[in-house]
Structure 1
Amino acid sequence: MAGPETVAAPEAGAGPVGVGPHPLPWPDDPRLDPALLAGGDRRNVVDEYRYWSNEAIVADLDARRHPFHVAVENWQHDFNIGAVVRNANAFLAAEVHIVGRRRWNRRGAMVTDRYQHVRHHPATSDLVAWCRGRDLPIIGIDNLPGSRPIQSAELPAACLMLFGQEGPGLSEEAREAADVVLHIPQFGSTRSINAGVASGVAMYEWIRRHATV
């Protein structure tokens, strides 16, 4: 049977990406979405998930998610949250937790929030209670005095990594709640890196130690 028409990744500003309509007869697979088979799949998903329904993709990811969680504070409508969600999807985090304001800018997530579980906590105390009830250590990520470098510190397989927002970093309450605070070593003139970048570095450090590639 002929395979689907593959549409090559275009130059910036060019045409669509993904694959076109699947040739008939369609595969007999309940994971596939008839609308995508008929119209093509232009989503930003790996080739393995072409034509799969969103629900089928989430179910497959749920069967193999990693045991680490990621949390980010959202007291001032931090625009980095979308990038945190996108990174969490890329590294297959169990969940993303947003502390503070419920609303967040989804543009940076690039639609990955369809496949990533996102949980809201109104206050830091709610997040802490949630973690304590599951014996999840809270690992603060911030370049604070007394913090330890992430590459040489203990990073448990099951944990929650907590990030502050652009500018102020972790709130005072979050600092007090953290079991330990780790920092990402920097070598330039800037004081800090934003939560989107920091989350990607920290999640990759977890993957480097604990994931089977």
Structure 2
Amino acid sequence: MAGNQQRRAARTSNKKGMTVGSGGQRRKQLKGRGPTPKAEERVGHPAARRAARTTKDGGGRQPARRSGPGRGAATEVVVGRNSVLEALRTGVPGTALHVGTRMESDDRVKEAITLATEAGIALLETPRGELDRITDGAVHQGLALTVPPYDYAHPDDLLSQQLPGVPLIVALDGITDPRNLGAIIRSAGAFGGHGVVVPARRSAGVTAAAWKTSAGAAARIRVAQATNLTRTLEDYRKAGFFVIGLDADGDVELPGLALADQPLVVVIGSEGKGLSRLVRETCDQIVSIPMAGVTESLNAGIAAAVTLYEIARARARR
């Protein structure tokens, strides 16, 4: 039929003929999609849901990079009305309090502004978009406090301090919870400690969380950062200190510590792993806290408080 012939002719005339390769026709399909995003950034991933849950309570901390050459530390940002207010109440040093524009104010915001003003912290009225950028998208509720990096002392600086009493230094080995660090700083201040030493790596630092837990003691007790904790302990021994390590399998029980009235460095290990091998070998004595059989171990912050109290009590008797 004529109609069928016309349709066949039309198909024949539209045929492109043979081609070699794709000719770049599928180049877009061949392009990669880039590196796989982090788990926390992938929608629906469990890690992303956990990260979202941590900010639902209206408070938290977000790290923000400092710009400028030679600045390896990070400026910390405390976000959320409850967290910011608690930080200001406990004297956490801040550089600026960012207050969102056109937001509904409440008693927490008013008190935060008052405390920041009294502390000499700059007040900045910040648009919501800029607050989102500063807090890295956290739930800030219109309030964010920037906290500068802590200015650590050198371990040798703790030796040159002219402070009353027999020298007492606390060193931390593997403590990664900043709240434990804050509690230990607080105990050191309460029981005559002259300073705290933390390793530069794999250790909690003096963040806003540690500062809050210390209840202001971080402003009075110097915290030094050691590049190599074992070498620092050896230097303290050469300077006349005795180094004692706290461990459940100690050779000496705390009430019988004969070295209590001597210049001391008390090393607190992590609750899970205890003292590392090299640090343990550097100690002059390994001391344990006597406990009932139902309790296997103590939180590092509590163990430090018990030990420092017993040392202070023994020194007071002599």
TM over 0.5: yes
Give, in whole Å, the separation in 1 of the partners of 2:206 and 2:315. 30
Please list every run of 5 or more consecutive structure 1 residues that lacks an aligned counterpart in the other structure.
1-12, 18-38, 41-60
Report the TM-score when normalising by structure 1.
0.64
Give, in whole Å, the separation in 2 of the partners of 1:98 and 1:172. 17
Higher Rg of the two aligned structures: 2
The answer as to 2:218 corresponding to 1:113 is yes
Please list every run of 5 or more consecutive structure 2 residues that lacks an aligned counterpart in the other structure.
1-85, 91-117, 120-160
Q: Over residues 43-64 of structure 1, what are the superposed CA-to-partner deviations in whole Å (9 max), with x where a residue is unaligned?
A: xxxxxxxxxxxxxxxxxx9542
Q: Over residues 87-140 of structure 1, what are the superposed CA-to-partner deviations in whole Å (9 max), with x where a residue is unaligned?
A: 001112111111343624413212211000111112222322321231211011
Query: In structure 2, do the counterparts of structure 1 residues 120 and 211 end up closer, same or farther at CA, with 3 Å as the change threshold?
Result: farther
Q: What is the alpha-carbon root mean square deviation over aligned residues?
A: 3.0
Q: Which residue of 2 aligns with 1:88?
A: 188
Match runs of 1:14-163 below 5 Å: 63-74=163-174, 76-77=176-177, 79-101=179-201, 103-105=205-207, 106=210, 107-144=212-249, 147-157=251-261, 158-163=263-268
Amino acid at match of 2:188: A
Q: Which has the higher contact order (CA 8 A, sep 6+)?
A: 1
- Greater displacement, 68-77 / 190-199: 68-77
Q: Which residue of 1 aligns with 2:312?
A: 207
**What is the deviation of 1:76?**
3.7
Contact between 2:182 and 2:214, CA under 8 Å: does it hold in 1? Answer: yes
> 1:198 aligned to 299, 303, 307, which one?
303
Query: In structure 2, do the counterparts of structure 1 residues 196 and 99 end up closer, same or farther at CA, with 3 Å as the change threshold?
Result: same
Task: Find runs of 4+ consecutive structure 1 residues off by over 4 angstroms.
Answer: none
Larger fraction in helix:
2
* Identity rate, percent: 27
Q: Which residue of 1 aligns with 2:272?
A: 167
Report the TM-score when normalising by structure 2.
0.44
Amino acid at match of 1:154: A
Query: In structure 2, do the counterparts of structure 1 residues 198 and 75 end up closer, same or farther at CA, with 3 Å as the change threshold?
Result: closer
**What is the deviation of 1:186?**
0.7
Give, in whole Å, the separation in 2 of the partners of 1:99 and 1:130. 15
